Structure 1
Amino acid sequence: MSLTAGEQAAREALRARQGAGARYDAASAPAEDLLLARRGTAYFARKLGELSDAELDAPSLREDVRRRALIAQVGYHARALAQQVAAARAGEAVQPISPKTYRNEIAQGATLPPRALCSLVHHAAIHLDVEWRDLTGDGWELSVPLDGAEATPLRQTPRLRARVVWQGALDLGNGGRLADVPADLRAELALPGGR
């Protein structure tokens, strides 16, 4: 994605106004996938915000999954990715996330009070975004063990996150539409309820 001279000048002027403390994505970051993930996060937050506390206890469109567990899964997914990115960025040994530990976190998270459950999703998403923004150009080429012991390049994590949040928003079952999902991501999602 290349910018015109005018767009580049506008971007530089904005950065000058924002000051030295503002964070930006590295030039070599996967910009389009980051945009998909960030828009998906906002869409999920909107659909979540439309639910009353009582509606959090209803079933989701995923078979045998209640909304609370779905919401916890979206939150803990962001947290797990953020921890993996942070460890890789710091040069620490990155351990695969135990599926059993992940399932236990989701089960516990599903029992949180409504406000705490929603805060989990919000804060974990911000943490992940900060970790992405702190990656240098070379950092995007590092790999972490996701999905068992498989090494996944950090460059692929925004697309992975985009699938999770957009699918989660649809599976909440409160009006999320496949037509709302960006066209280049639709084919990667399952239709809610198996439809």
Structure 2
Amino acid sequence: MSQTSSGLTETDLAAREALKARLGKGARFDAPNAPAEELLLARRGTAYFARKLMELSDEALYAPSALEGLSRAHVLVRVSYEARYQALALEALDKGKQLELPEKLPSLDLAATLPARALRHLFQHSEVHLNVCWRDLSEAQWDMGITLIDGAKTTPRALPLLRAKGIWQAALDLGNGARVADVPVNLRG
């Protein structure tokens, strides 16, 4: 299968165009200059993580993860908070403001004790929030400077790859059957 200059396959491009045709003129899409390949990696990683999450019973969410000393709920909360913090940075950019860094970040340990249904909703909502923020970025905003929750400076263009790496690793960290062989080759290592 051949790849275009953007790194997407012809099948990916055809699927995108078919989706645009089905959804019609009222739908919103990523800006033409958005990092399509990285967004695809992040979105596919999110779908993979969601699938592994849905394979877990509510009780299994509180079982140990592949990370020593952390439950699967901890992994779920961490990946959800990461999405939320990226989305907040993008919202600040969209409003023409700097992200206000909180004095104290919410506790992973406390959030990991939430009921299973709340944990699943946290992930789902954070994923949608980040995806909407990416979709709503203008062409110019993709290359503007932003500050992340940890104070790091970057551009929105760097976030999809950062998210892709984090979400695929989190799927492995759940420790319920995700395989390194499932991770896209360019994200391994």
TM tier, smaller: 0.7 to 0.9
What TM-score, normalized by structure 1, do the two folds share? Answer: 0.85
SS in 1 for 2:146: strand
- Per the alignment, residue 192 of structure 1 pairs with none
**What residue number does 1:26 align with?**
31
Instruction: Look up the match of 1:183.
Output: 185
SS of the equivalent of 1:101 reads coil
Under a length normalisation based on structure 2, what TM-score does the superposition of the two structures give? 0.87
1:151 is matched with which residue? 153
Q: Residues 11 and 74 of structure 1: is their aligned pair in 2 closer, same or farther, counting only changes over 3 Å?
A: closer
Report the alpha carbon displacement of residue 132 of structure 1 after superposing the two structures with TM.
0.1
Gapped regions of structure 1 (runs ≥ 5): 188-195
1:49 maps onto 2:54 in alignment: yes
1:20 is displaced (CA, Å) by 2.6
User: Hey, what's the Cα distance between the residues in 2 that align with 1:79 and 1:149?
Assistant: 15
**Shift in CA distance, 62/97, structure 1 to aligned 2, threshold 3 Å:** farther
Distance 1:164 1:13, change over 3 A: closer
1:55 maps to amino acid: A
Pairwise CA distance, 1:22: 1.1
Separation of aligned partners in 2, 1:4 and 1:165: 22
1:65 aligns with 2:67: no
Unmatched segments (≥5 aa) in structure 2: none
Q: Is residue 2:137 matched to residue 1:135?
A: yes
The aligned residue for residue 193 of structure 1 is none
| Partner AA of 1:160 in structure 2 | L
Count residues in correspondence. Answer: 184
RMSD: 2.5
| Percent of paired sites with the same residue | 51
Cα gap change, 1:101 to 1:174, in 2 (>3 Å): same
Give the conservation status (yes or no) of the 8 Å contact 2:65–2:75: yes
In structure 2, the CA distance between the partners of 1:12 and 1:65, relative to structure 1 (3 Å rule), is closer
170 and 93 in structure 1: CA distance in 2 versus 1, 3 angstrom threshold:
same
3-state secondary structure, aligned to 1:149:
coil
